[in-house]
Structure 1
Amino acid sequence: MSKTLTALCLCLHAVAALAAEPGPVSLKSSRTTIEFDRARAGAVVSLTDNSTHTEFINKDAAQDLFAIAWTRPGDTSGKQERLTGHDAKNVHWEVTERSVTAVFERLGGHDLTVTCLVSADPARDDVRWQLHASGEAPLVLERIDFPILDLRAPLEADGASDTVVTGLTKGGVFHQPAKWKTGQGLSFPQPGSLAAQFGCYYSARAGLVSHTCDSRGFPKTLDLHRTADGLRWMWQRRCYHPMKQPFELGYEISTATFTSQTPGEPADWRDGADLYKQWALQQPWCAVPFAQRTDVPDWMKSGPAMIRFSRDWLGRPERVEGWLDDYWKKHFPKTPLIVALWGWERVGSWVSPKYFPPYPSEEGFKRVVAAARKADGHAFPWPSGYYWNVEYQQNPDGTFQWNDWDDFNATGLPHALIERDGTPLVRKLPWLEGGRNAVLCRGDAWTRQWFNRNAVTLMQLGCDMVQVDQVVGGLAPGGGECYSTQHCHPPGLGVWDAEAFADQLRSLAAECRGVQPDAVLSIEEPQELFNHLIGVQDYRDGQSQRWPSLPETTHASVFGYLYHEYLPVFQSNPVSGDLKMLAYCAVTGQIPHWVPHWPVSPSPALVGGDFEEWSEEEPAGWQRVSGWQGTNYVGLPYRDDSVKSHGTASMRLENRLESDIVQVSQNVSVGPGHLEPGHTYRLRARMKVESLAKPNAVNLAALTSKLGSKGSWRIPLPGPGDWSEGSVEFTMPDEATFLRIMIHVSGTCRLWIDDVVLEERVDDRWEPLIQPGSPPEHEFVEQWVRLFHGEGRPYLLLGTMIHPPRLLAPLPPAGERPPMDPVMTGAFRAPDGSEAAVVANATAEPQEVQLQWQGRVHNLQMAPSSLRLVR
């Protein structure tokens, strides 16, 4: 390093004359021309696309090329101070035809030098950026923002076609960022929710793509936010680096412009993603396509489907057996099945690490696993990563139903993730019902082996798949920020965390395969850095509507587009009856995944309204809701055999404190043979109240898959007295995907509910609504599973995702951008080079579909809820 700095200083001395010139300097690649203003400490004042001459920079807003944030050694507050190039005492420049080097000396008066190197070659597409720092200043580098680009917003005309797309898992396409409010934007870490280290900003005319070139996993963030003058875009390298030794960024940053690959067509995010993929294909995670991997069993390459059983199912192994025997094997006898198990943990769902014996018992758990194997299924539990639950289910008096502090302090504390002040990270999480989790540090070899032991126990119980859960996008809880000096890693943020997780996955695979030779691994939410170390991926791109503050977000399978041929994905959280989401997953080549239904024979659509059957703390068919939006519902329902309207039992609700809330809910699907839009229904219930401090009700809500309300109704609870009946009539609105029935009581109470019945109007009479024994999405799922496992497998499972056909009809009304279109398309290239499009009709009506594909127009008659391969 010292020789490099000496040579650099000699070069700078040789061009000292340039240092005195305050004017702009520029570089040019084959696609892009970029200009720096030396009078503004190197701020980027122009970035243009060479072919369209589109200007991306707001020259008037540009101020800084870089910024650093630092803290003082020993300061545990985390308070950061900021310096930019304007704070340098001296700036030296070296300019050649293909590079610009700027050396900023004595930033803020400190013995601190920052060197920025930018290079471009007319024979290369992109501009490359590097940065390093040196000096003996008594400070700790914590963040480097570089390069800082102040982009125009709107980019073209009124900004109607302006769009932002990043490698974010739950991202999608963010339209018209000029409409964002000042300060609004996106900021995502890698490792973490930035599953692929790139982003692009484009209009119909041209776009800008920026990515880091990091194959190791240095902590970084892509940050873009609206300013009063445009859109500020920057990469933030996050670290904890005492300046007693030189600092290196650890990677180059690439910036390039792009246009549509099809003349006359508007630019698209895939055009930018294709440029990024050219770099990604050279990385370890793209060394071997999925079809050629030898560490993945053949059944995974055959095109499996997936189902998820939650805790209420696991508590009834006979129900799991019934669904597998009477539904799965009846309709899909030759297709392997991934069987995700949620709620298998001994104490409660997602409560770790006291997992064993698993719920409902070791015998019951083995019975579920055996049933899966009998159906050519593969049991797939998701242990909660590095969390150690120390408190669970807070009681009204502040105590907890479960408390594990003693064991944590005795065993886990030496290996815990440590904050700046030397204390372990402990935080409250919503699914713990008022409780808290501590976090173990995976940089500690003990922790990695601790997780492996739990996974191996699951393998010994018959499972042959496992997901490392609660490591969102490969990021450890707490952001991987551990300040311990006892764990054999440098304190603070560093690449050590990503490398430790890669070691975890390698050792986990080896130990699990010692028990189950074909064991398959997964992690919660994708992270390109680890693609090659796992065999299937939990994906959440169907949740891009979680950004309600940013207008007009539409879905996009960005990670899938980049890596479809390297790692299969499944949508983690399907919703019963959500046909649009299923269709979206089908055309983006995801593993068919949906939720099971019960019963599997014709029966009342509302399950368990007589409250005769119970499991743990809730009646069969119902869910005890533990909280909502940060409020814990500590009240409980009880089976009561002595007070009932009919039968052998009722449900008693009892709150002892004014602050107590209890809610028991059930979802009823919308679709053919179930609740149908435009039809009129009635819900009735028998109720008996002994005491009720304030008005409450049985509430009904017609909801979309994203919990948007389309209508609501209620049955008020009566005053104290004997049994009485209440009812409400309602008409199911359009666009709802399910009806949620919520028996909700807040405040002190003692009351009983029985004989809840959902009825439909048939002519002039009311009759119980009977479901047909198959879910509303059955017809679509049946087509999807057969296509994915059969004719479509080379494309939908093993193929490379390519630019989709252009949909000509039907189109949404002018000016509207629904999150998902009623008719959706995708396209893939199989390993043999052949190409196919896939088209889905996600409506209950026939559709006349017209699309442009491979140089010609295709006209298709699509039946309701249908899926088709076009070649």
Structure 2
Amino acid sequence: MIIERSAYTIELDSANGSLLAFTDKRSGKNMIHGGSAARPIFTLRLRDDAGQALDVTALQAASVTLEQASISADDGTQLRFKYTKLNNLDLDAVVEVDLPQDSNLTDWRISFDNRTSYLVEWVDFPDVVVPNDLVAAGGTARILWPAHEGVLIEDIGRRENTWLKYQETGYPSKGWDGTYPGPAPTQFMAYYDDDCGLYVGAHDARHHVKSIEFLPFDGGVRLQYRIFVEGAGQGSYRMNFNMVLGVFHGDWHQAAELYRRWFEQGSTPPRIADNPELPAWYRESPVVVTYPVRGVKDTGSMDPNEYFPYVNAIPHLERLSERFDSKVMALLMHWEGSAPWAPPYIWPPYGGEEGMRQFADELHARGHLLGLYASGIAWTQRSLLDPDYNREADFERLELEKVMCVSPEGELPYSLICNGVQRWGYDMCPSEPFVTETVLEEIRGVANSGCDYMQYFDQNLGGLSYLCYSKEHDHPPGPGRWQTEAMKTLFRKIRQEWKAMGKDIVLGCEAAAAEPFLGELPFNDLRFNIGLFTGEPVPVYQYVYHEYINNFMGNQNSSGQSIDLLKSPDNLLWRTAYSFVAGDMLTVVLGRGGAINWDWGTEWDYPAPDQQAIGTLIRNLNAWRIGAGKPYLATGRMLAPERLTGVSAQTIHMRDGSVLKQPSILTTKWQSSEGRVAQFLVNYTTEPQAYDWQQPYGGAIGALLAYKQPDGEGLELASQTERGMHRGTIEPLSCIMLAWTPPTQAAE
């Protein structure tokens, strides 16, 4: 069955509904890989009473009926495939496909009628396999994966040799994967090359839990969407949102624009510029300074270090503040009075409440801020960092196995998150009252500490809980949307508790807060560097959500595991510039003597980065966030940048022997709420860097100003070629801002 539209031609197997081809009309490229065998348009994962899995597919239907309804010449076509007796079970399904006449997007939905004794865990739909003509395979194609704030995949095998290699999403979870709303904070993917692209997105305003993954498959690359349906039992299930497939032209920015248009059609949190819930410091762009008070990294000795007592850090923080010309936020690790990373108990702080309160008071008296890390909703049986910490007796006495996440088989395995390294323990299920009560009790102490920010949900990546299959808890018997709602409820109770106490504390999590949590978790510990294990990071998250949320660069944990730090001495400068042009607040991690370290996890005895260079870069960049760049970088809307050419390349050497080529000038483009547009160009190297910048609209943009200083001084550019090309040079460790008013607005 071949159906033509103005932008594409789609081919489906009329016998079973499989997607055979999705061809871009402009380029003539089919973006569906054929493979060696037929592919089912859907797969259902069933679980029996013992939790054993059985997968059934569209290809196992006893009969397939195709109903084709032509709505009208203008509206397009709707296809309806009905599948009966899947795998000879009393289980039927229906797939509907809407093909609007003049749209480049198509809508896909599935429903099923389950009359069996099985529960349905997830629906894998629609089955999409694209060609493996990625860059590493000799082509020009890339895959955009939304995990870790956005990653471009050029080599399908890159992550398969790392701890991030593909595995099915389930319980226990390794944490860093494609789970939405979690470490994958948004819900679309894309495949594209120099000619065209295929957009695949879940336009799901109710935020069902999904596995959004990619993996090598039958000579191609599978773009996998699995929607967890809460262990749906007997009865009817109907997908209440559209899976959307369509063609586009351009790169990842154009794919992100398709998703952002849909996102902004629905209910969104307040924009930063209009959000009365945000404290004043949020708009003042403090530099985050993170460090432990015990030990020097995640593992090893947990003896108190030179930053304990807490006030010992004040001279270092004051020096950094002066160096950066900015207020700072001290964000502490290993401060918990229980044991480092030993949730759920954190209070009182190590050394007692008085010492922490004194530290907070002295920070505030100097205009600075206090932040604290904690480890989210997990249960620690015993700490591997502090042998004196053991809660096994409490676990037995309180019968806490009843409130923990369990596997599909009903078993209680240890969590995979930090277990065997920092602790042994389990994941707590957010549906259980004990979890809420314990969290609220712990945060009451935090509220009285003088804390301004609490990254409470470390290890609850993106803000989501881990999957739970319990049939005894107050939630459906499988993972799904209930997790999203349970976590939102917990976040709101924490904020309400603090507000009732008169405390204006900001709450956050590890990694970018996923889409449904934007309004509850407005400041978060980003981890774009995790994407280095799989591909090249790109700021997809900021493109879609930046007007609603600002985050900070994060502690960059594991950067030293992916990057050869000493072979690439500018890598910290590059990572800092990346965060800046992405619109994020900047972060440093301290080592010995107040020196800036490479990341959280690098030993203090390891040779440190160039202190003068990183200090200068942060001072220069942060001045833009609070100066002339503020309407763009703090509250603006990211746009696809104008083309930058003639830029030299920098080489980032990776631990696995590969290299990552990065331009010596990083750039992004933004629009302010007043409609002005600016493109930022950052030279993060220690040498001057030249560039050619192609003006938009053929150069017809009116007054084009080059701001070379963040205090707002600007001058009209004169160095232009006849083709609207501007050429310039940027001094080391600095930024320039090219600003203009689009022609339509200038005419108005």
Distance 1:309 1:814 in 2: 29
| 1:510 alignment partner, one of 486, 496, 500 | 496
Query: 1:64 touches 1:84 (CA, 8 Å); kept in 2?
Result: no
The letter for the 2-side match of 1:472 is L
* Residue 251 of structure 2 is aligned to residue 276 of structure 1: no
* Residue 686 of structure 2 is aligned to residue 849 of structure 1: no
| 2:551 alignment partner, one of 569, 584, 589 | 569
Corresponding position of 1:254:
244
User: 1:408-436 deviations in whole A, cap 9, x for unaligned?
Assistant: 23334442223344444433654764630
* Residue 534 of structure 2 is aligned to residue 544 of structure 1: no
Query: 2:145 touches 2:213 (CA, 8 Å); kept in 1?
Result: no
Identity of aligned residues (%): 21
Question: In the superposition, relative to structure 1, how do residues 597 and 782 fare at CA in structure 2: closer, same or farther (>3 Å)?
Answer: farther
Map 1:334-345 onto structure 2 (within 5 A). 335-345=326-336
The letter for the 1-side match of 2:344 is P
Alpha-carbon shift at residue 220 of structure 1 (Å) = 1.2
Query: 1:199 touches 1:210 (CA, 8 Å); kept in 2?
Result: yes
Corresponding position of 2:3:
26
SS of match in other structure, 1:427 = coil
Alpha-carbon shift at residue 293 of structure 1 (Å) = 0.9
Distance 2:600 2:88 in 1: 61
Distance 2:344 2:136 in 1: 56
| 1:300 alignment partner, one of 282, 302, 312 | 282
SS of match in other structure, 2:178 = strand
Corresponding position of 2:172:
none
User: Which runs of 5 or more structure 1 residues have no equivalent in the other structure?
Assistant: 1-23, 260-266, 548-552, 608-620, 629-663, 672-773
User: 1:321-340 deviations in whole A, cap 9, x for unaligned?
Assistant: 11233441x3456x443321
Alpha-carbon shift at residue 516 of structure 1 (Å) = 4.2
Corresponding position of 1:634:
none
SS of match in other structure, 1:512 = helix
Distance 2:737 2:343 in 1: 44
Alpha-carbon shift at residue 290 of structure 1 (Å) = 1.2
User: 1:376-430 deviations in whole A, cap 9, x for unaligned?
Assistant: 22221122111121111289xxxx4321111223334442223344444433654
Query: 1:32 touches 1:48 (CA, 8 Å); kept in 2?
Result: yes
Query: 1:89 touches 1:104 (CA, 8 Å); kept in 2?
Result: yes
Corresponding position of 1:382:
373
Question: In the superposition, relative to structure 1, how do residues 533 and 435 fare at CA in structure 2: closer, same or farther (>3 Å)?
Answer: closer
Alpha-carbon shift at residue 184 of structure 1 (Å) = 7.6
Alpha-carbon shift at residue 565 of structure 1 (Å) = 1.1
The letter for the 1-side match of 2:318 is D
Give the greater-gyration-radius structure (CA): 1
SS of match in other structure, 2:88 = coil
Question: In the superposition, relative to structure 1, how do residues 250 and 511 fare at CA in structure 2: closer, same or farther (>3 Å)?
Answer: same
SS of match in other structure, 1:33 = strand
Alpha-carbon shift at residue 219 of structure 1 (Å) = 1.8
Corresponding position of 1:55:
30
User: Which is strand-richer, 1 or 2?
Assistant: 1
Distance 1:70 1:562 in 2: 32
* Residue 191 of structure 2 is aligned to residue 201 of structure 1: yes
| 1:107 alignment partner, one of 48, 64, 86 | 86
Distance 1:344 1:118 in 2: 54
Query: 1:841 touches 1:847 (CA, 8 Å); kept in 2?
Result: yes
Distance 1:315 1:89 in 2: 70
| 2:231 alignment partner, one of 228, 241, 251 | 241
Corresponding position of 1:719:
none
Alpha-carbon shift at residue 481 of structure 1 (Å) = 1.4
The letter for the 2-side match of 1:470 is Q
User: 1:530-580 deviations in whole A, cap 9, x for unaligned?
Assistant: 112222122111332123xxxxx3221111111111100212124797111
| 1:471 alignment partner, one of 439, 460, 470 | 460
* Residue 665 of structure 2 is aligned to residue 797 of structure 1: no
Map 1:146-185 onto structure 2 (within 5 A). 146-154=125-133, 159-169=138-148, 171-175=150-154, 177=156
Name whichever of 429-438 and 856-865 sits farther off: 429-438
Distance 2:258 2:92 in 1: 33
SS of match in other structure, 2:384 = strand
Distance 1:819 1:556 in 2: 14
Question: In the superposition, relative to structure 1, how do residues 289 and 171 fare at CA in structure 2: closer, same or farther (>3 Å)?
Answer: closer
Query: 2:141 touches 2:192 (CA, 8 Å); kept in 1?
Result: yes
SS of match in other structure, 2:518 = helix
| 2:506 alignment partner, one of 520, 527, 531 | 520
CA RMSD of aligned residues (A): 3.1
User: 1:106-165 deviations in whole A, cap 9, x for unaligned?
Assistant: 111111101000011113331000001104122221222111123223279975311011
Query: 2:142 touches 2:193 (CA, 8 Å); kept in 1?
Result: yes
User: 1:50-87 deviations in whole A, cap 9, x for unaligned?
Assistant: 332221123455623433344453213xx322222221
SS of match in other structure, 1:246 = strand
* Residue 672 of structure 2 is aligned to residue 830 of structure 1: yes
Distance 2:600 2:287 in 1: 29
The letter for the 2-side match of 1:114 is A
Map 1:59-458 onto structure 2 (within 5 A). 59=34, 61=36, 63-76=38-51, 79-97=52-70, 98-154=77-133, 159-169=138-148, 171-175=150-154, 177=156, 188-259=178-249, 267-284=250-267, 286-311=268-293, 312=305, 314-328=307-321, 330-331=322-323, 335-393=326-384, 400-411=387-398, 412-427=400-415, 429-430=417-418, 433=421, 435-458=423-446
Distance 2:33 2:194 in 1: 19
| 2:623 alignment partner, one of 779, 782, 786 | 786
Question: In the superposition, relative to structure 1, how do residues 434 and 232 fare at CA in structure 2: closer, same or farther (>3 Å)?
Answer: closer
Distance 2:499 2:368 in 1: 18
* Residue 471 of structure 2 is aligned to residue 496 of structure 1: no
Name whichever of 60-69 and 509-518 sits farther off: 60-69
| 2:609 alignment partner, one of 670, 679, 687 | 670
Query: 1:303 touches 1:793 (CA, 8 Å); kept in 2?
Result: no
Alpha-carbon shift at residue 501 of structure 1 (Å) = 0.6
Question: In the superposition, relative to structure 1, how do residues 802 and 342 fare at CA in structure 2: closer, same or farther (>3 Å)?
Answer: same
The letter for the 2-side match of 1:26 is I
Question: In the superposition, relative to structure 1, how do residues 227 and 352 fare at CA in structure 2: closer, same or farther (>3 Å)?
Answer: closer
Query: 1:216 touches 1:499 (CA, 8 Å); kept in 2?
Result: no
SS of match in other structure, 2:628 = coil
User: 1:665-700 deviations in whole A, cap 9, x for unaligned?
Assistant: 5133232xxxxxxxxxxxxxxxxxxxxxxxxxxxxx
Distance 1:323 1:72 in 2: 56
Query: 1:306 touches 1:339 (CA, 8 Å); kept in 2?
Result: yes
Length, aligned pairs only: 664
Corresponding position of 2:573:
579
Alpha-carbon shift at residue 240 of structure 1 (Å) = 4.5
Distance 2:410 2:35 in 1: 45
Query: 2:341 touches 2:422 (CA, 8 Å); kept in 1?
Result: no
* Residue 730 of structure 2 is aligned to residue 862 of structure 1: yes
The letter for the 1-side match of 2:214 is L
Question: In the superposition, relative to structure 1, how do residues 228 and 435 fare at CA in structure 2: closer, same or farther (>3 Å)?
Answer: same
Distance 1:497 1:434 in 2: 26
User: Which runs of 5 or more structure 2 residues have no equivalent in the other structure?
Assistant: 71-76, 168-176, 294-304, 560-564, 653-657, 700-723, 740-748
Distance 1:624 1:99 in 2: 53
Map 1:427-826 onto structure 2 (within 5 A). 427=415, 429-430=417-418, 433=421, 435-467=423-455, 468-476=457-465, 479-485=466-472, 487-526=473-512, 527-547=514-534, 553-574=535-556, 578-596=572-590, 599=593, 666-671=605-610, 775-812=612-649, 818-826=660-668
Query: 1:68 touches 1:141 (CA, 8 Å); kept in 2?
Result: no
Q: TM-score, normalised by structure 1?
A: 0.71
Distance 2:419 2:468 in 1: 23
The letter for the 1-side match of 2:148 is T
Distance 1:303 1:173 in 2: 28
Query: 1:149 touches 1:232 (CA, 8 Å); kept in 2?
Result: yes
SS of match in other structure, 2:62 = strand
